Amino acid sequence: MSSTFRIHSTAIAVAALMGTAFSAQANLTNPEISLVLDGHYQSGERALGEREEGFALGHTELAISAAVDDKFYGKLTTVLESHEGEIEVGLEEAFIQTLAMPWALSVRAGRFLSEIGYLNNQHLHSDAFVERPAAYRAFLGGHYFDDGIRLNWIAPTDTYWELGTEVFGGDPLQAEGLDHAETVGVYHLYSKWGGDIGLAHSWQAGISWLRNENGQGGVHEEHAEDLLDDHDHDHSHGAEFTGRDLFNVSAVYKWAPGGNYKYNHLTISAEYFYLDSPFAGEEHDHDHHALAEEAGADYFDGWYVSGVYQISPSWSAGLRYGQMSAGLMEAHGDHSHYHPADIKETEAMLAWHPSHFSTVRLQYSHQDVHGLDHADDHQFTLQYVMTLGAHDAHQF
C-alpha cells in the first residue's frame, strides 16, 4: 500500500468528504444496510460502565445509508441495548451530509457523533476494548452524539489537515440542577493533522475545545446519590461530570511493516481531557467551588494510553491504562461536603477476528475506584461483535 493511498484513505474515513466513495457503494435504489450484533458475559460491575454483569446485549446497531443524489448523503443508525432485562431502542445517528461543496468544505446536519477526541467519532463496535476509557464515560457519556450541524474543511496540503466547527443542542452534556437551559448549548472547535513517515509509519494528532453553556448547574443531593447507586445504569449516554469548557488533545501512531496492515501492525494512542471550573458560574455555587479548590480539585481531568498489536490477520492483543479524577458535591441542608472521585483502570485484551466482520474478545479489567461505590476491582468480559451487510470503512 503506498504512502499516498494511506493518507487519502485517512482523509476519507475521518472527514467523510469524498462523495464518490459514498455514491459508488450506495445509491437511492440500493442503500447500504448493516447490522452489528454485540453481546457479552461480564463477571462484575464497572464504575460508570454501561455493560451489565452477567449475560447481556451490548451496543447492537442497525444502520441504513445511501447517497440521496449527487449532492447529498444520508445515514440512520438505531441502537438496541439490554438494561435490567429489558431491551432499549435509541437513535444514534440520523443525518445528511453534503457531497459536492466547493473548496473542500462539507456540512453535516441532524444527529451525529461529535468529532471531539480520537475515539468519539468512531462507532463502538470498531473499538479495540470492551468499553471506552473512564474519561470518555465520565465526560462524554461513553460517546457523545447530539442534534446539530457541522462545518469542516480539508486543507489542500501534503500533510493531512482538517479544521471544523460543530454546534449542538447539548442535552446529553447538560448539568444537573440547571435553572435555565440554552436552546443551543454546545459549541465545538477542532483541528486534526496526520501524515506518513516512510512506508511503515503513520500518525495523527488532534486538539479540541468544547464550550458547554449548559454545563454548570446547581448542586442536588439526589445527583450524588445517583452516582453512588448500583442500579442507576441508564443508557442515555449523558455525561456524569460537566463543566463549561472541555479541552482534549489526542495523538495516534501506527506502524505496519512495509505499509501492509493486513498481517500485523501496531497502534499506540493517547488522549487527555481537561474540564475547567466544574463548580463555577452561579452565585450559589461559589462555596462549592471553594471547597473543591481547597481539596485540590478546581478542575476535572482524565487520560489514557493504549497499545494494540495485531499479531496475525486473525489475532490481536492490547493493553490500556487510564485515569479519571473528578468530584461530587453533596448538599446537606445549609452546608455541603466535597467527595473526591477517581478511577484508575488497567485493561488487557486478546481478540480473535477470523474476518473483517467478526470478533471474539476476552478482556481483563482491574479498577482502583474512590468515591464511586459498587464497582468491582476485577472484571472478566467475553464479548462478540459480528457485522452483517456492508458497513463504512473504519477510521484511522
Residue positions counted in the chain:
396
Residue 290 Cα distances to 33, 241, 242, 293, angstroms: 53, 18, 17, 5
Can you give the C-alpha Rg of the chain in angstroms?
21
CA distances from 68 to 31, 94, 152, 298, 319 (A): 9, 13, 20, 48, 41
At 394 the pLDDT is 72
**Pairwise CA distance, residues 396 & 119, whole Å:** 10
Q: Is the dihedral of CA 196, 197, 202, 205 positive or negative?
A: negative
Beta bridge partners of 336: 331
pLDDT digits (tens, 9 = 90+) for 175-204: 887 778 899 999 999 999 999 999 999 999
Burial 346-362 (b: 16+ CB within 10 A, else e): ebebebebeeeeebebe
Domain residue limits, the chain = 3-389
Q: Rounded CA gap, 280 and 33, in Å?
A: 46
Q: Rounded to an integer, what distance in angstroms lies between the CA atom of residue 385 and that of residue 396?
A: 19
Q: SS3 breakdown of the chain: % helix, strand, coil, rounded to 5?
A: 15, 50, 35
Contacts with 179 (C-beta within 8 Å, 6 or more apart), sequence order: 217, 218, 282
Q: So what's the pLDDT on residue 16?
A: 41
Distances (CA, A) of 302 to 115, 148, 231: 18, 26, 24
Residue 175's pLDDT is what?
86
Selection from 15, 92, 30, 33 nearest residue 67 by Cα: 30
Show the 3-state SS of 187-221: EEEEEEEEEEECCCEEEEEEEEEEEECCCCCCCCH
At 71 the three-state DSSP class reads: coil
> Residue 251: beta bridge partners?
205, 270
Q: What does CATH list as the number for 3-389?
A: 2.40.160.10
pTM: 0.86
Which H helix or E strand runs over 23?
helix 19-25
Q: Which three cell numbers stand for residue 171?
A: 442535552
Which residues of the chain are modeled with pLDDT < 70? 1-29, 218-237, 277-298, 328-338, 373
Among 292, 276, 369, 392, which residue's Cα sits nearest to residue 338?
Answer: 292
Q: Please report the DSSP string for 125-194 in residue order.
A: GG-SSSS--HHHHHHSSSS-EEEEEEEEEE-SSSSEEEEEEEEE--GGGPPTT-SS--SS-EEEEEEEEE
- Host H or E run for residue 243: none
Predicted confidence (pLDDT) per residue in 54-98, tens digit:
999 999 999 999 999 999 999 999 999 877 778 889 999 999 999
Amino acid letter, 215: G
